[in-house]
Amino acid sequence: MRSYIMEAIGTFFLVLAFGFTGNPIAIGIILMALIYIGSPISGSHFNPAVSFAFFLKKKIKGVQLAGYVVAQLAGAVIAAYLIFVLTTSVYYVEPPSSTGLNQHVIAEVFFTFIFVLVMLVFSLTTFLKRNGLIGIVAGLTFSGMLLISIPISGGILNPATSIGTSIVDLTQGGNSYIYTLLYTIAPLTGGALAAFAFTYFYSKSEE
């Protein structure tokens, strides 16, 4: 139960960072801190795409995957509602109109892929998992991926952020839910590709 609560708390603060700042650097710094706080307890996934990759690597079971995703979605919904209460405006995510669907999908898949692969490498390889750099590297990587992807796809890279914020937006009459399929399938695909890439390149380095 502690791991699920930690996943909810971490996702909660991550979505708050998205909603209150929208600044990739600030979001990466917050993620860095959250990873160090949560790693000993839950592995600091805070993202269904990360949890899905760890499931594919058989590091968590199906029941744990379901629990992690439910917890992450709960944290995201609570954060989105708190943003609404404090600002009286709804935070939701949508892709920019200056780019097309193909660009949105490609950006969300491949930039999620890089981030999730970093999480796998620093969590599962014997020569990196104990060096204590996972928070710094993952936080900076996430900032970098957001800086590149925001102008292309909106830069979400996390299904929990999209689904959680769209639920609150829907209660206020919004329709951002139409983008949740993009922001769910594309990052999960990126997470799956990261799991396969890790197996191909690093399988001999795992404990």
Give me the mean pLDDT over the 137-154 stretch.
Answer: 95
Q: Is the pLDDT of residue 206 over 70?
A: no
pTM recorded for the entire structure? 0.93
Does the pLDDT of residue 202 top 90, yes or no? no
Delineate the domains of the chain, giving CATH numbers in brackets: 2-205 (1.20.1080.10)
Listing DSSP states for 61-120 in one string gives -HHHHHHHHHHHHHHHHHHHHHHHHHHSS-------TTS-HHHHHHHHHHHHHHHHHHHH
In the three-class reduction of DSSP (H, G, I as helix; E, B as strand; rest coil), residue 123 is classed as helix
For residue 207, pLDDT beyond 60 = no
Question: For the residues 124-131, what does the mean pLDDT come to?
Answer: 76
Token pair in block for residue 173: 């009459």
- The pLDDT confidence band at residue 205, using thresholds 50, 70 and 90, is low
Cβ neighbors of 66 (< 8 A, separation 6 or more) are none
pLDDT at 132: 76
Torsion over CA: 177, 182, 184, 187 (sign): negative
pLDDT in tens, 96-117: 999 999 999 999 999 999 999 9
pLDDT above 80: residue 203:
no
The DSSP string of 32-59 is HHHHHHHHHHH----SHHHHHHHHHTTS
Query: Quick one: average pLDDT of 27-38?
Result: 95
Q: What's the rounded Cα separation, in Å, for the pair 111 and 155? A: 9
